[in-house]
Chain A
Amino acid sequence: MAYIDASNISKSFPAKSGPRHVLDRVSVSVARGEFVSIVGFMGCGKSTLLNILSGVVPADTGEIHIDGRPVAGVSEHASIVFQNYSLLPWFSALENVRLAVRAARPQWARGEQRKQAERYLSLVGLGNAMHRRPNQLSGGMRQRVAIARAFATEPEVLFLDEPFGALDALTRANLQQELARLCSAAGQNVTTVMISNNLDEALLLSDRIIPMTPGPRATLGPPVAVELPRPRSLELLLHDEHAVRARTHVVESLTDHVHAANARRARMQSRTGSAESAFVAADSREADI
């Protein structure tokens, strides 16, 4: 059995016009120590899937096991990084991280908890800004705090919900490298599931990329392995011949899957007489990926 094993996950939310089916019998499995990215359009249900995998939100149907244990609520071995940082604004960076360490390691002495928090803040380059409040930090620095908070509890599973989505391109590139460094330092001890709408980011960090079709009733496509040596860099992805080929392969597989899904949807919609508009919508969304 895979380390993370989710099968037949469905989720719908009540809406005015009846229930909105966001996920339809989605299955994922992730091996121990693997870094998997789920890539798809905005609003296709990626975040919902991640929230279900991590135990923040319960699924309507389906089963999730992590390391053989069924998921019910957020596991003590899991950390989550959200797109909007989710730091508590009344605490300093250090206090935010300490709160996590204290909750995860209540048996440690206070000094030990503090040292652990300081160590991980230093690891993400915030050694000099630990005592600042989130509103005194830039977006990139805030996300560094959130990443430090996630790693400071030494999790076995890491869930990343578009962690760099709100950052400018340069900051994003820096943080991607930092994250890659932290993940490779943790080695086989940490298994990561990342949600992203940025293919290069996924290529840079992942062992496997799973495409997600646009919702409603979102499903996952066949995973694409990223067989590139680490450490990777954006330059490498753009210029190295092997990397460019790998990238092309990934992009083709992903777009094939999305096209197939769109064609299926278009066929279904043509029965109701709106095929053309469906194709137009699909094409205009293609540009994002």
Chain B
Amino acid sequence: MVGNFVLPLVGIACAGLAWWAASAQVADLPSPLETWEESKLYIMEPWAKRGEMDQGIARLAYYSLLRVARGFLLGIALGTPLGFLLGMSTTAHRMFDPVIQVLRPISPLAWLPLGLILFQKSEPAALFAIAICSMWPTVLNTMSGVRAIPQDYWNVARVLRLSRLTTFTKVVLPATLPYMFTGFRLSLGIAWLVIVASEMLTGTPGVGGFLWQEYNSLIYSHILLAILTIGIVGFVLDRVMGVAEAKLRSI
């Protein structure tokens, strides 16, 4: 009881205290109380729509989530088949592994301009950046999932003379599913990280776009509101995926 509820609350209080202490030192940094006062409107009317960027925080988060969902789905739609290919074919792995290792560490800030050149519009460029940044954990986890399939299961497929398709759907896919989901969870985390950068650069409405606009408008308390929102939404996403993953692993 104490460990589950009280200790995390103490931790949050400590972080709040650190924030408050910092705000006492730095003139421009709003204290927790000022942040609350100036953000109340956005939190109490979460679905309000007053202007392009002047919207309730839940509505802004919803825009961002929608964009992340699209980019993430695009990312895993590309990443999963690629992962299976690399896992099942040594040739493909040897061929593409160096490419992947080079592409993987590239920041979303680097991909976005390329996306803008390729697609000429901000929305597809944002999706491109999210997809290409978030797909790597899915690729690598799916790949190692396929490689970790025990020889026993391959033997079953061979002994029962399963067709290629049946082997894939009845043996390879179920055996790889838990690994794939770990990949999905990590990918979603990255997709959510990328959203802020891509919204900042493209100026589209959402939590990240809001954050950048309020910085330019010198309303610093709203930056903190946006930061907290990003953190909390990211935490919830991870937990939801974690539960789904645990369900799969229990099979």
Instruction: Give A contacts to B, CB under 8 Å.
Output: 54, 56, 73-74, 76, 78-80, 82, 84, 86-91, 99-100, 103-104, 133
B residues 178-220 touching A (CB-CB < 8 Å): none
B148 within 8 A of A: no
Please determine whether B159 and A56 come into contact, CB atoms closer than 8 angstroms. yes
Q: Which of B166, B174, B175 is close to A103, meaning CB atoms less than 8 Å apart?
A: B166
User: How far, in angstroms, from A87 to B153 measured CA to CA in the complex?
Assistant: 8
- Cβ contact within 8 Å between A88 and B174: yes
Which residues on the A side are within 8 Å of B37 (C-beta)? none
Q: Which of B152, B158, B159, B251 contacts A79 (CB 8 A)?
A: B159
CA distance A75 to B199 in the complex (A): 59
Determine the distance from Cα of A49 to Cα of B69 in the docked complex, in whole angstroms: 53
Whether A88 contacts B170 by the Cβ 8 Å rule is yes
Expressed in whole angstroms, the Cα–Cα distance for A82 and B151 within the complex equals 12
A80 to B156, CA, bound (A): 9
Is B162 part of the binding interface, using a Cβ–Cβ cutoff of 8 Å? yes
Q: For A73, what are the chain B residues with a Cβ–Cβ distance below 8 Å?
A: 158
Contacts of A89 in B (CB 8 A): 251
A residues less than 8 Å from B1 (CB atoms): none
Residues of B with C-beta under 8 A to A100: 160
The contact sample of 21 A-B pairs, CB cut-off 8 A, is A74-B158, A74-B159, A79-B159, A80-B155, A80-B159, A86-B156, A86-B159, A87-B156, A88-B153, A88-B156, A88-B170, A88-B171, A89-B251, A90-B175, A99-B162, A100-B160, A103-B160, A103-B161, A103-B166, A104-B161, A133-B251
Q: Which residues of B contact A87 (CB under 8 A)?
A: 156
Number of chain B residues close to chain A: CB under 8 A: 16
Residue of B nearest to A103 (CB): B160
Task: Specify the chain B residue showing the minimal Cβ separation from A150.
Answer: B159
- Select one of B155, B158, B160, B251 contacting A90, CB under 8 A: B251
Q: How far is the CA of A104 from the CA of B175 in the complex (A)?
A: 22
Q: Flag B232-251 by CB within 8 Å of A: 1 or 0 each.
A: 00000000000000000001
A79 neighbours in B (Cβ, 8 Å): 159
A86 to B158, CA, bound (A): 12
Q: Separation in Å of the A66 CB from the closest CB of chain B?
A: 15
Minimum C-beta distance from B53 to chain A (A): 48
Chain B 101-137 interface 0/1 with A at a Cβ cutoff of 8 Å (1 = within): 0000000000000000000000000000000000000
Query: Per a CB cutoff under 8 Å, which of A56, A84, A99 touches B170?
Result: A99
Query: A81 → chain B, closest Cβ, in Å?
Result: 9
In whole Å, how far is B250's beta carbon from the nearest beta carbon of chain A?
Answer: 10
Which residues of chain A come closer than 8 Å to B251, judged between CB atoms?
89-90, 133
Q: A74-B158, A74-B159, A88-B171 are in contact. List 7 more A-B contacts (CB 8 A).
A: A78-B159, A89-B251, A91-B170, A99-B160, A99-B162, A103-B163, A104-B161
Task: Report which of B155, B161, B166, B170 forms a contact with A86, defined as CB distance below 8 A.
Answer: B155
| Bound-complex Cα distance A88 to B163 (A) | 16
Provide the residues of chain A in CB contact with B166, threshold 8 Å.
99, 103
Q: Which residues from A are CB-within-8-Å of B155?
A: 56, 80, 82, 86
Question: A88-B170, A89-B251 given as contacts; is B152 within 8 A of A82 (CB)?
Answer: yes
By a CB distance below 8 angstroms, the chain A residues around B152 are 82, 84, 86
**In the A-B complex, the 7 residue pairs with the closest CB atoms:** A90-B174, A86-B152, A103-B160, A80-B159, A100-B160, A86-B156, A103-B162
CB distance from B117 to the nearest CB of A (A): 45
Shortest B63–chain A CB gap in Å is 38
Chain B: minimal CB distance from A190 (Å): 16
- Nearest chain B CB to A256's CB is how many angstroms away? 35
Least CB distance, B177 to chain A, in whole angstroms: 8
Contacts of B161 in A (CB 8 A): 74, 76, 103-104
Bound complex: CA A48 to CA B77 (Å): 41
